[in-house]
Structures are given as structure tokens and as C-alpha cells.
Amino acid sequence: MKNPNVVKWSLKYGIMSALAGILCCVAPAILFMFGLMGGVVAISFADFFYSEDGSIGMGSIILRIIGFGIGCIAVFKFREKQNQCSIDPKRKKINLILLVILLLIFGVVFFLAMDSWSAWYFDEYIVPQQQIELNT
């Protein structure tokens, strides 16, 4: 059995957890980008996850909890896979600590990057299209 790679594992699950946490904004942006939904629908899809005042709503909180859960599952799966190998227990502990740190860093960085990108994309492309659709 091959020892799991800490960096690849944390990168893969960091991206997955970040994407799950910000799905409310990235999904409508991507669907709008490919022409699968209009500006009004994209805005209403994203608004479903937020409160009236623009703060995060229950849907957004649920997505972030799911993203955190994916990160936790990654740690447990890594630990299970690592325990199948005959590695020094001290090295296993260091690998696990390193995984948690990298997973947090990758998850938070990707989450913030996708949040920033989606906010820019909404302001630059989707909101103007929504105004055009509402005025016609």
C-alpha cells in the first residue's frame, strides 16, 4: 500500500470543500457564463442563499457547513488510508497535522479567491445583464 501524498490530498479536498462552501455564487456565475441562465435568474439563484439585507443566510451557512464536513471527511479518510501503511507513528502524526494545516490554508484561500471572483463577475457582467432584462 502506497503512503498518501499530503499535499495532493489537501489540495484536492481543499478545492472540493471551498467549492461546496461557495457554490451559491460560483454556480450561477458559471451557468450565466455558458449562457444557460439569464441575469435575473442568476441573481435570484444567488439571492436564495442570502438574507434580505445581503448578509449570509441559512442556505449559505448550510453550504459552508457542508464544505467544512468535506474537510473533516478528508482528514478521516487520510487517517484511515495512512493507517493501512506501515509508517512510523510519529510520522503519521506529523502528516496528519500537516494535512489539517494545508487543508485549512487551501480551503480558505480557494474559498476567498472564488468569492472574490464571483463578486467581481456578478458586478461586471451579471448585474448589468439583469438591468437590461428588467428594463425590456
Taking only the tens place, the pLDDT of each residue in 57-70 is 899 999 999 999 99
8 near 78, Cβ under 8 Å?
Answer: no
Is residue 1 pLDDT above 70, yes or no? no
Q: What is the pLDDT of residues 70-102, one digit of tens each?
A: 999 999 999 988 887 767 889 889 999 999 999
Could you tell me the pLDDT band of residue 31, with boundaries at 50, 70 and 90? very high
For the chain, give every domain's residue range. 6-130
